[in-house]
Structure 1
Amino acid sequence: MKGRPAVAALVLLLGLAGCPSSGDGVIALEGATLIDGSGGEPVRDALVLVKQRHIQAVARVNEIPVPRGARVVNLIGKTIIPGLIDAHAHVERWAAERYLVWGVTTVRDLGASSTDSAIALKNDFDLGSVLGPRMLTSGAMIDGTPPTYPTATAVRTAAEARRAVDLRAVAGADHVKIYTKFTADLLRPLLDEATTLRLPVAAHLGKIDALTAARAGVASLEHMAGVVAAASRDPGPYFRAHDQFLRGWTTEEIGWATLDSASLARTARALAATHVAIVPTLVMHEMLSRLDNPTLLSRPGMEDVPASAASVRDVAGLLRRTGWRNADLQAFRRSRARQNQFVREFKRAGGLIAAGSDAANQLVVPGLSLHEELSLLVAAGLTPVEAIAAATRKGAEVLRADSLGRVAAGKVADLVVLDANPAANIAATRRISWVMLRGRILYPDSLRRTWTK
């Protein structure tokens, strides 16, 4: 009888020895400066605990214990930011890993060549059969008649607009995108159906002004399209120009320079009051204004783009199709100051700005160009921390994805570790040490080496 307690104690000890320690599977990131995506001030000497693809805890070093057995990663001298969200992309399969090496862990795909192909790629990313960012997609665009692109769904009636939304919901789309020839009379039925099915509507406008669309209930305005018409005394010429896509785009792009400061500020305030989000894609406007600059095809980061990627590299083809000459590009450049002013006024009015690139497009590079967008947002008047929030928390708000965009307990473990602090210089977001996607550490240089094989 006397030996039984000793035997029981031995069995207990052996059992405990076989149990995993509390730190098994935990990654402890220690000592970095943390910019958590909230828009608040950076936190020095941060501790971030990651387990099972999620952030378990966030604190200062020594404020909470690191679980015994955790994998500790010393990040003194580094900066952590949330995984970046590109809120306006056109995702191509070749670009999947390019997003990741640039710290873009989530993309909002707007306007795929087909709904089925977009859903298939999204599923490949989600299942891990293809390494790539988390992807939310609209599938093919919904346009008026005739559609600008043959892959878009053309709608003429309220019933057709509702059906187009229904088909995307059944296929598994995350949101809906309307395009430049979509008309105001079809907004209400489309928005009613999208609201019923809980699908946010993104709008690249042509024949509807931004205020009309925002007041009707679209979730986001892409490229700031429709703002010029909203700020103009007579929007009719802009609407009529959009009978033909390139003529409409050119007329609107040049039209920014004709606006005065007061009308821009008034329009920005009115739009902010509707709570619509703006995804300005300044980098797309900037690159279109500089298509005559051949050095942009060899700027740092272009080496990530395959020679076969005509969507990014074929500048000459775009110039042939559009017929744009130096005078047009100079006019585009004159408009850039007013576009920046609108962003600044919209921010001042409390509007939600999300960062998007419009990649892949001519000179607009998947991954890289989101960092260029951040620099342009800062040049337009955002602080570096606000610009980072535009590419993290604000992007998550546009996606209606509460688990993304912040480094906070309970959020998905999508992080970027930087070699410098972008709060001091936004260009530091490009100095990426490594990326964490769903709790998995990825090294950009290792991924890049596989592309040359």
Structure 2
Amino acid sequence: MDSARIAHAVCRASGPYRIEVGGILGPGGVDRGRRDITVLPTGGWKVGRAEDTVSPVLRLPESIAAPALYDAHVHLHPQVRLTDYVRHGIGRIRDLGSTVGADQAVPTGRCCAEPVPDIVLGGPLLDRPGKQRLPFAAPWRDAAELPNLVDAAAERGAAWLKLYDRFPGELVEPAVRLAHDRGLRVTLHPPPGEYRAALDAGVDELQHLACLTPRGDGSRGTRAVLRHWAGRDHGDAWPDLPRGTAICPTLLVQHQLVREAESDWTFPDHAPGWAALWRQLPTAARPWGATQLITARQAVARLSAAIGELDHAGVRWVIGSDTPNPGVRPGRSLWEEMNLLVSAGLGPLRIYRSAAVAPAVAEAGEHPLTFLPRGAFDSGRFSTEPPTATLLHGCLFRPNP
């Protein structure tokens, strides 16, 4: 465990133990007033007045208990410290493309003192057939191989199948059918102009608001996406999504691209190892000129403006950071993504519930909890600093300064 960043404050082996808090996030909002949370040796917990004999006692009177967060779009990477998710109150993550999704073992802690968030396995990432351009994309040659790929994903415990933007459009519906037959859901990183057809084919969720563009001239990549959005007028009908469509917008990715491009990809706020990795990516391989920066800033503004339109249309928000894209850090970046959605006009409490492992703290449960400052929902903006503590599988972890 990275003991410099997070401390194992109380072990479940000490249970039952109780945590006194100054309120909870309940079904009707923040319920202020003392609550006792009794943590059981099994890892579960229950809310209610605890017997005075239950000890040890951890007093957090200036904190409210809330369901921990769920980062629904990450890429597990050797440089990512999984403890950084727990440190920032994230108890569950969903891997949507990595060597873990392809064939490596799912990370686990060596003991309960080494916190690893619950990992929802996205299974293999399926891109184009033939030679793969991404190191963690599953190799395949033709449609005849898809059943075996889906079977293997299900046997590994995957809950999702991710289709990338070069996956053949004519195979989306057969892939969805195979996945659904094996109990997997399907999410898509859509190519230009294909998001409606994918929804008609049964895709369960779309990734990246920035990718929901018209077909245009067929150009792909970051620059083409930004050009589309920079030219979008308020009256444009795209992206036209049916009510109930699940979408993970990942606004932060584009915001951070602009910010880091303005520094000529020096990544001044990040560790040298991350900066070196990100500069290897085609997007950050060379400086952006003044015209491209203007285009990117316009695109970011129009992406934010589209949030309110889509919300009015009744889409369902899935919140994810897309860590570790350039400048996007594990843990902290989910809070930054939530703040961008709040700035776009969505309510803080609603966004928190959309991003959490559960909508509220019930009378009892087993899912992770996080302990937030009592005023966490009062200012209209979330702090990006680590919360007071996180309860994961019955062990309580606190961030070190």
If the length of structure 1 is used for normalisation, what is the TM-score?
0.76
Q: In structure 2, which of residues 315, 328, 335 is the aligned counterpart of residue 351 of structure 1?
A: 315
Aligned equivalent of 1:408: 362
**Does the 8 Å contact 1:162/1:189 carry over to 2?**
no
Deviation at residue 385 of structure 1 after TM alignment = 0.7
What letter is aligned with 1:339?
L
Cα distance change on mapping 1:126 and 1:44 into 2, 3 Å = farther
What secondary structure is seen at the aligned counterpart in 1 of 2:319?
coil
**Does the 8 Å contact 2:213/2:239 carry over to 1?**
no
What letter is aligned with 1:328?
Q
Aligned equivalent of 1:61: none
**Does the 8 Å contact 1:32/1:76 carry over to 2?**
yes
Deviation at residue 263 of structure 1 after TM alignment = 3.0
Aligned equivalent of 1:5: none
- Alpha-carbon distance between aligned partners in 2 of 1:320 and 1:440, rounded to the nearest angstrom: 40
Q: How many residues align?
A: 381
Cα deviation digits, residues 373-402 of structure 1 (max 9, x gap): 11111111111111211211xxx4xxxxxx
What letter is aligned with 1:108?
R
**Does the 8 Å contact 1:209/1:226 carry over to 2?**
no
1:86-97 to 2 correspondence within 5 Å? 86-93=71-78, 94-97=80-83
- Alpha-carbon distance between aligned partners in 1 of 2:266 and 2:16, rounded to the nearest angstrom: 43
Cα distance change on mapping 1:249 and 1:75 into 2, 3 Å = same
Larger Rg: 1
**Does the 8 Å contact 2:173/2:201 carry over to 1?**
yes
What secondary structure is seen at the aligned counterpart in 2 of 1:292?
helix
What letter is aligned with 2:260?
L
What secondary structure is seen at the aligned counterpart in 2 of 1:81?
strand
- Alpha-carbon distance between aligned partners in 1 of 2:371 and 2:49, rounded to the nearest angstrom: 22
Aligned equivalent of 2:377: 423
Aligned equivalent of 2:248: 279
Whether 1:25 and 2:11 are equivalent positions in the alignment is no
What letter is aligned with 1:56?
K
- Alpha-carbon distance between aligned partners in 2 of 1:154 and 1:249, rounded to the nearest angstrom: 24
Whether 1:444 and 2:399 are equivalent positions in the alignment is yes
Deviation at residue 148 of structure 1 after TM alignment = 3.3
What secondary structure is seen at the aligned counterpart in 2 of 1:80?
strand
What letter is aligned with 2:62?
G
| Gap regions ≥5 residues in structure 2 | 1-13
**Does the 8 Å contact 1:99/1:366 carry over to 2?**
yes
More displaced 10-residue stretch of structure 1: 186-195 or 217-226: 217-226
**Does the 8 Å contact 2:44/2:394 carry over to 1?**
yes
**Does the 8 Å contact 2:278/2:284 carry over to 1?**
no
Q: In structure 2, which of residues 3, 13, 30 is the aligned counterpart of residue 42 of structure 1?
A: 30
Aligned equivalent of 2:96: 110
**Does the 8 Å contact 1:142/1:164 carry over to 2?**
no
1:260-299 to 2 correspondence within 5 Å? 260-264=233-237, 267-268=239-240, 270-271=241-242, 273=243, 275-294=244-263, 297-299=267-269
- Alpha-carbon distance between aligned partners in 2 of 1:206 and 1:176, rounded to the nearest angstrom: 17
Q: In structure 2, which of residues 328, 334, 353 is the aligned counterpart of residue 370 of structure 1?
A: 334
Whether 1:334 and 2:298 are equivalent positions in the alignment is yes
- Alpha-carbon distance between aligned partners in 1 of 2:39 and 2:266, rounded to the nearest angstrom: 39
Cα distance change on mapping 1:292 and 1:56 into 2, 3 Å = same
Whether 1:325 and 2:276 are equivalent positions in the alignment is no
**Does the 8 Å contact 1:284/1:357 carry over to 2?**
yes
| Gap regions ≥5 residues in structure 1 | 1-23, 58-63, 230-234, 243-247, 397-403, 449-453
Aligned equivalent of 1:53: 43
**Does the 8 Å contact 2:261/2:284 carry over to 1?**
no
What secondary structure is seen at the aligned counterpart in 2 of 1:42?
strand
**Does the 8 Å contact 2:102/2:125 carry over to 1?**
no
**Does the 8 Å contact 1:291/1:329 carry over to 2?**
no
Q: In structure 2, which of residues 324, 346, 352 is the aligned counterpart of residue 360 of structure 1?
A: 324
Q: In structure 1, which of residues 60, 76, 91 is the aligned counterpart of residue 61 of structure 2?
A: 76
The structure that is helix-richer by fraction is 1
Cα deviation digits, residues 420-444 of structure 1 (max 9, x gap): 4221122335352211112211111
Whether 1:241 and 2:219 are equivalent positions in the alignment is yes
Cα distance change on mapping 1:436 and 1:65 into 2, 3 Å = closer
What secondary structure is seen at the aligned counterpart in 2 of 1:442?
strand
What secondary structure is seen at the aligned counterpart in 1 of 2:320?
coil
What letter is aligned with 2:323?
A
What letter is aligned with 2:330?
P
Q: Deviation above 4 Å: which 4+ runs of structure 1? A: 125-130, 315-320
Cα distance change on mapping 1:129 and 1:116 into 2, 3 Å = farther
- Alpha-carbon distance between aligned partners in 1 of 2:109 and 2:161, rounded to the nearest angstrom: 20
- Alpha-carbon distance between aligned partners in 1 of 2:103 and 2:34, rounded to the nearest angstrom: 41
Deviation at residue 208 of structure 1 after TM alignment = 5.4
What letter is aligned with 1:80?
A
Deviation at residue 258 of structure 1 after TM alignment = 1.8
Aligned equivalent of 2:5: none
Q: In structure 1, which of residues 205, 208, 223 is the aligned counterpart of residue 190 of structure 2?
A: 205
Aligned equivalent of 1:309: 274
Cα distance change on mapping 1:84 and 1:113 into 2, 3 Å = same
**Does the 8 Å contact 2:19/2:59 carry over to 1?**
yes
- Alpha-carbon distance between aligned partners in 1 of 2:43 and 2:394, rounded to the nearest angstrom: 4
Identity across the alignment (%): 26
1:159-178 to 2 correspondence within 5 Å? 159-178=144-163
Whether 1:144 and 2:144 are equivalent positions in the alignment is no
Q: In structure 1, which of residues 107, 129, 132 is the aligned counterpart of residue 116 of structure 2?
A: 132
Deviation at residue 76 of structure 1 after TM alignment = 2.1
**Does the 8 Å contact 1:109/1:135 carry over to 2?**
yes
